[in-house]
Amino acid sequence: MTRYKRQDPELTRRKFINAAMGGAAAVGGISLISTLGAAKPAFRLTPQLAPPLAGDIIVHSDPSRYGEPVKVSDLSEQLVRAWPAFKDEGGKLVVRDQDPTSVLAVYRFPKGQIVEPTNLEATIDGEIVAYGDRCTHAGCNVEDNKQQPGLMNCPCHSGQYDPKQGCKVIGGPPPHPLPQLPIKLEGEQLVVTGFFMSVPYGYSKEEDWKRYTEQVQEALS
Ligand code: FES
């Protein structure tokens, strides 16, 4: 059996959104309706299906701390897996955990270790950096490389990434780096400042991702 099935990589972002059309109304909250273009069907984008957005707070995904805001003191050279979350009208944090492409990997490295092509302005003090955590090859979750600390390994087909260098691909079949997510510190919380800065899993071209982000912005306005 191929390990492609591990994270159900066939369930692409677009299929995921389309699959959610029928059930999204039951989720509650606001519904953002847009279109994918004349040839594609309309889709319904609920807040929990939305990608990480400016203003979102980064929260733990581990079941033992699920939904707790990630603090600087939680971070190290070991991967912390996280989700974006937003505050609803009552001030309660709601996790955007319905699109697997929104899952994040967050690191803190000693000053000076994070270098280009990482976008340093999108890190916190050049020490804390966040990326999308779905491998750009077939969508598996990427993990710490246990043999080479500080690097990342994809368990499905041995893709290798360097989170200190913009998560560039340093081995294996992934076609693109993991996408960096711009972040800043507000008080003790890590806050998202924009969309993924390059193509996440599920998008082969920059222009497709850009078009999607424009549609999301339009739906939100
Ligand atoms: S899914 Fe194939 S290397 Fe990551």
Provide the residue ranges of all domains of the chain, joining segments of one domain with +.
52-204
Non-local (6+) Cβ contacts of 145 within 8 A are 151, 152, 153, 160
DSSP 87: E
Question: Which of 8, 101, 135, 152 has most ligand 1 atoms within 8 Å of its beta carbon, as the pocket-test mutant?
Answer: 135
Gap between the Cα atoms of 105 and 85, Å rounded: 14
CATH 3.40.50.10070 fits 52-204, yes or no: no
Gap between the Cα atoms of 43 and 96, Å rounded: 17
Residue nearest to atom 1 of ligand 1 (CA): 138
Q: Is the CB of 108 within 6 Å of ligand 1?
A: no
Would you say 218 and 34 are in contact if contact means Cβ atoms under 8 Å apart? yes
Please list the pLDDT of the chain residue by residue as tens digits (221 residues): 333 333 333 334 444 443 333 333 333 333 343 333 333 444 568 899 999 999 999 999 999 999 999 999 999 999 999 999 999 999 999 999 999 999 999 999 999 999 999 999 999 999 999 999 999 999 999 999 999 999 999 999 999 999 999 999 999 999 999 999 999 999 999 999 999 999 999 998 999 999 999 989 888 77
Give the residue from 100, 106, 146, 159 showing the smallest Cα distance to 130. 106
Gap between the Cα atoms of 146 and 153, Å rounded: 8
Q: Is the CB of 171 within 6 Å of ligand 1?
A: no
Q: Is the CB of 156 within 6 Å of ligand 1?
A: yes
Q: Is the CB of 137 within 6 Å of ligand 1?
A: yes
Q: Is the CB of 157 within 6 Å of ligand 1?
A: yes
Backbone angles phi, psi at 69, to 5 degrees: -55, 135
Would you say 136 and 176 are in contact if contact means Cβ atoms under 8 Å apart? yes
